[in-house]
Homo-oligomer: A and B are copies of this chain.
Amino acid sequence: MINSRLAVAIHILTLIASRKDQVEMTSEFIAGSVNTNPVVIRRIIGMLRKADILKTQAGVAGAVLARNPDQITLLDVYRAVEPRDELFSIHEDPNPNCPVGKRIQGSLDHIFHHAQSMMESELSKKTIKDILTSMFA
């Protein structure tokens, strides 16, 4: 099962996108909404910052989006918080002396890549803005 970083990252970004002017989006405040530790939030915010999805400044309270909510797809977020390129693992070193062992990796690679693409394509169709509007329609 894929970890919960994607879910938390979307939560963070939706919160920031829904921000009323009064409130600063500190890691402490966000942690209160997600119900976890502020360091967990800062860790994920760090990944989102490296992916240029949001901006923070050391010492100054509050994170802000680096671009409009409709320009942040869930695939962007997924890629930001998921270090691995491949969704499916393939067993290493199958026996090259076996006709199946010799060819299986190529077949699996092809199929898995395709299945992953379909999933990612779906994520690419939804943005943080979509989440926000569906949430408060």
Query: Which residues of A does B touch, CB under 8 Å?
Result: 1-4, 6-8, 10-11, 14-15, 18, 32-36, 74, 84, 86-95, 98-101, 103-104, 107-108, 110-112, 114-116, 118-119, 121-123, 126, 131, 134-136
Contact = CB atoms under 8 A, between A and B. Distances in A.
> Which 9 A-B residue pairs are closest in the complex by CB-CB distance?
A119-B119, A4-B89, A33-B98, A115-B122, A118-B118, A33-B101, A118-B122, A7-B90, A103-B135
Q: How many copies does the complex hold?
A: 2
Contact of A1 (B18, B84, B104, B119): B84
A6 B94 contact: no
A2 B87 CA distance: 6
Q: Which of A35, A36, A92 has the most CB of B within 10 A?
A: A35
Contact of A114 (B84, B93, B122): B122
| Interface of chain A, main secondary structure | helix
A35 B33 CA distance: 47
A36 B91 contact: yes
Contact of A107 (B87, B93, B131): B131
